[in-house]
């Protein structure tokens, strides 16, 4: 980015303007949440793939009494909801 004196501004200033300046990423009406998207939001097939992997791990471990799957993502539980739905569908078929 350019300035009047030297023709250039530093990386820090350019980043601050891009994020917080007029029209910057955090100043837009939709905000950061409007930009957030993960694989689970792109397709239900991602959760189905995780469910299949979980089934394979369960089998490879000899079907232990307890098998934990922990979702440490920043979403609202969509991945685990999708995995549970996929496992339920597979159990019913």
From first to last of the 93 residues of the chain, give the pLDDT tens digit: 556 676 788 899 999 999 899 888 888 877 766 766 667 777 889 999 999 999 999 999 999 999 999 988 767 888 899 999 999 998 887
Q: Are residues 26 and 52 in the same domain?
A: no
Query: Whole domain around residue 51: which residue ranges?
Result: 37-93
Whether residue 25 is found in the same domain as residue 41? no
CA-CA distance, 54 to 85, in Å (whole number)?
A: 13
Q: How many domains does the chain have?
A: 2
Does one domain contain both 27 and 49?
A: no
Q: How far is CA 82 from CA 4, 6, 19, 44, 88, in A?
A: 53, 54, 33, 7, 10
Q: 58 and 43 share a domain?
A: yes
Query: Do residues 71 and 83 both lie within one domain?
Result: yes
* pTM more than 0.85: no
pLDDT, residue 1, reads 54
Residue 88 and residue 93: Cα distance in Å, rounded?
9
Q: What pLDDT was estimated at residue 72?
A: 83
Q: Are residues 45 and 87 in the same domain?
A: yes
Q: Same domain, yes or no, for 2 and 26?
A: yes
């Amino acid at each position: 980015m350019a300035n009047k004196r030297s023709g250039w501004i530093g990386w820090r200033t350019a980043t601050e303007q891009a994020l917080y300046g007029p029209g910057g990423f955090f100043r837009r009406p939709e905000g950061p949440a409007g930009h957030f998207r993960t694989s689970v939001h792109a397709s239900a097939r991602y959760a189905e793939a995780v469910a299949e992997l979980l089934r394979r791990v369960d089998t490879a471990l000899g079907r232990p009494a307890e098998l934990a799957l922990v979702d440490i993502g920043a979403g609202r539980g969509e991945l685990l909801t999708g995995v549970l739905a996929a496992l339920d569908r597979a159990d019913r078929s």
